[in-house]
Structure 1
Amino acid sequence: MTISVLIVDDSAVVRQVVMDVLAHEREFRVLGAAADPIFAMEKMKQEWPDVLVLDIEMPRMDGLTFLRKIMAERPTPVVICSSLTEKGAEVTLQAMSAGAVSILTKPSIGVRNFLQESGDALVHAIREAAAAKGRLRKPAAPPNFIAEKIATPKLTADAILDKSPVPALGRTTERIVAIGISTGGVQALEQLLPALKPNCPGLVIVQHMPEKFTATFAARLNTMCHIEVKEAEANDRVQPGRALIAPGGKHMLVKRSGTQYFVDVVDGPLVSRHRPSVDVLFRSVAKFAGANATGVIMTGMGDDGARGLREMREAGAHTMAQDEKSCVVFGMPKEAIKLDAVERIVPLEQLAELLGR
């Protein structure tokens, strides 16, 4: 299948490098490049692309305004090509909330070399976006990140935490929920977390997202929810009415002290080609929480989390997957279902009620 792509960026360097990268991939057909959304709309009148690669800061019309216009009129997969800054993080999260599928971060200097070296990441991000075609919805109100080369070896959770058992823990009143999510996750979590009540079980969440973005995302969610939402720090307690989001660029693990649970935040290699990795989180929950946990795998591309969710189920945890209809990309839930890791398949709109129980 050929994927048609339109590049919208005010930098001539970015436009040229992205076109050069895609020219070497037979599956892509570049429709052209535009210096701003006004020019882009003229090109899109002639042929609508399968995927847009879109900058945020541009003259005449900014990328966020353009994105919202596109998603309201004709939802289209969009890869945001954004600078990795705290200010840029907030605007980019607004773009993902508005329906963008993936983020490709770029530095403020050395863009040409960065994009040339990150060609695999760019290609993967566009493929990921194309996989979401036909599943995007017009936002009711206001999915991942690829920052490192996809050609790296695909490691398992063994690289961070061994699978050896710990002393069994009987069922306790201290319950936790572990969630793994990727493409389409910003919109999904903005629907799920505000629907949770203050007495819900403590949550630990891996959303594939780069550093600096996760802190901004957690702060944004915290203003929308009845529960506390924060970017996880080492030794944060997992407790009712709190959701801890793994920081971008770090792995998050759950540990136990007595009957209470805490998180650890550690460096380490990519696992299942991600950092943070859902497999790492789920393994730690299987190991230290067992039957006192519930695991949920949600919208996302790839298979990160599938093996970890099976380990959770084998340890006695309840396991759920978001259903295909409500996913932007059904990849992660589908792989977990294939491994018999899932007890129950649930629509997004029912998850909050089930987790509250």
Structure 2
Amino acid sequence: MMSTDTHGKSKIRVVVVEDSPTMRAILKTRLEREGDITVVGAAANAAEGRTMIRELDPDVVTLDVEMPGMNGLDFLEKIMQLRPTPVIVVSGSTQKGTETTARALALGAVDCYAKTEATGGLPFEDSGRLAGLIRQAARVRFTERAPTSHRVASEARTSLHERPRVIAIGSSTGGVEALQILLGGFPENCPPTMIVQHIAARFAPAVARTLDANCPPRILIAEPDMPLRDGHVYIAPGDDRHLSVGGISALSCRLRQGEPMSGHIPSVDVLFHSVAKVVGQNAIGILLTGMGSDGAKGLLAMSQAGARTIAQDEATSTVFGMPRAAISLGAANVVAPIGQIARHTFHKAA
């Protein structure tokens, strides 16, 4: 039965999966004081969590993937295969915790919420960040799970058409999973590729390592003035710097502090606008799943500069906000499922 608040509006129903009784109590208190969120179940392990998800059908699950005695990644993978549900990963502060979180995001977790580095517990006050993540996750509607086959990769290695100087990619909610599928279809010697993925700086290196281990190109975190090379993919660090392309004859990564654009630092729009200005028609822009509209205007600028532009379709987007905004502006030359974007990237459109 749907829960409602005092105004008769539906509440967001959450199941918490966390081995610590103290953490479960803190999460429940922190979420329910928001008024529009209710914790309908709190599980101490995967078995309890699986039963609660099946019986309670929550809108969102918070999952501590570092629980003793269980493999949180296997549990998450089963959730996404058998009963796709928006999952927020509650991550530990250790190196192992960040690596596990990166793999969880690649498996389909919507977002991550970090425990404090000092104590490994929850932040004393987070200014409503966790509640905000829950609200965003509750808007996610899973439809089609995209295939992870690498069939496209072999096609791309032999069929690159009109090789671009740069490929620029933007993504947000659900983006790590989408990037793993997309980059899995890239050839090992792909053109230099730059990515802005909305993610906390502490998780960005682990995400790069996870993608690097599962995709043909070399994937790394962008550094200031790093030269762009074939076969390399450069991911924005996720800190307070925008990533853009610089140079004329020899292109390189630029990282500059600045004000948020489209509500974000780093911003997809900043990257796309720089590529439109510096590279023009010799580029490809790709906008993937994400909340909001970051990247839409930048993708339009790339299209107007003559670049080929691609947006992920609604059926395979975790959140269709960013691609939808670009499509509504007429910025996307191609709209395609995530599993087919690599093929569109490396083959000339009909």
Could you state the TM-score of these two structures normalised by the residue count of structure 2?
0.83
Q: Pick from 214, 217, 221: which aligns with 1:224?
A: 214
Match of 1:63 in 2: 72
Deviation at 1:344, TM superposition (A): 2.1
Deviation at 1:115, TM superposition (A): 5.3
Task: State whether residues 147 and 339 of structure 2, in contact with CA within 8 Å, keep that contact through their aligned partners in structure 1.
Answer: no
Task: State whether residues 254 and 288 of structure 1, in contact with CA within 8 Å, keep that contact through their aligned partners in structure 2.
Answer: no
Task: State whether residues 296 and 326 of structure 2, in contact with CA within 8 Å, keep that contact through their aligned partners in structure 1.
Answer: yes
Match of 2:292 in 1: 302
- Give the SS at the match of 2:330: coil
Match of 2:337 in 1: 347
Match of 1:124 in 2: 132
Deviation at 1:289, TM superposition (A): 1.7
What code does the residue aligned with 2:37 have?
Answer: F
Q: Deviations over 1:185-223 (max 9, x none)?
A: 122111111211234321101111122322222222223
The 1:49/1:260 distance shift into structure 2, 3 A limit, reads same
Q: Pick from 14, 17, 22: which aligns with 2:23?
A: 14
Distance (whole Å) between structure 2 residues aligned to residue 63 and residue 225 of structure 1: 23
The 1:14/1:344 distance shift into structure 2, 3 A limit, reads same
2:328 matched to 1:338?
yes
Task: State whether residues 182 and 300 of structure 1, in contact with CA within 8 Å, keep that contact through their aligned partners in structure 2.
Answer: yes
- Give the SS at the match of 2:315: helix
Match of 1:274 in 2: 264
- Give the SS at the match of 1:104: strand
| Matches for 1:161-310 after TM superposition, within 5 Å | 175-310=165-300
Superposition RMSD on alpha carbons, in Å?
A: 2.6
2:114 matched to 1:105?
yes
Deviation at 1:349, TM superposition (A): 2.2
Task: State whether residues 96 and 186 of structure 1, in contact with CA within 8 Å, keep that contact through their aligned partners in structure 2.
Answer: yes
Task: State whether residues 56 and 62 of structure 1, in contact with CA within 8 Å, keep that contact through their aligned partners in structure 2.
Answer: yes
Match of 2:92 in 1: 83
Task: State whether residues 243 and 253 of structure 2, in contact with CA within 8 Å, keep that contact through their aligned partners in structure 1.
Answer: yes
Distance (whole Å) between structure 1 residues aligned to residue 195 and residue 335 of structure 2: 19
Over the matched positions of the two proteins, sequence identity in percent amounts to 41
Q: Deviations over 1:322-347 (max 9, x none)?
A: 11112121111011122232222122
Deviation at 1:173, TM superposition (A): 7.0
Distance (whole Å) between structure 2 residues aligned to residue 267 and residue 9 of structure 1: 37
The 1:255/1:93 distance shift into structure 2, 3 A limit, reads closer
Distance (whole Å) between structure 2 residues aligned to residue 187 and residue 331 of structure 1: 16
Q: Deviations over 1:53-89 (max 9, x none)?
A: 1112223324323223323332211100102332211
Distance (whole Å) between structure 2 residues aligned to residue 302 and residue 268 of structure 1: 20
The 1:352/1:139 distance shift into structure 2, 3 A limit, reads closer
Q: Pick from 124, 130, 141: which aligns with 1:133?
A: 141
Gapped regions of structure 2 (runs ≥ 5): 1-9, 150-161
- Give the SS at the match of 2:67: coil
Task: State whether residues 247 and 278 of structure 2, in contact with CA within 8 Å, keep that contact through their aligned partners in structure 1.
Answer: no
Task: State whether residues 186 and 342 of structure 2, in contact with CA within 8 Å, keep that contact through their aligned partners in structure 1.
Answer: yes
Distance (whole Å) between structure 1 residues aligned to residue 277 and residue 305 of structure 2: 7
Match of 1:47 in 2: 56
Gapped regions of structure 1 (runs ≥ 5): 142-171
What code does the residue aligned with 1:89 have?
Answer: T
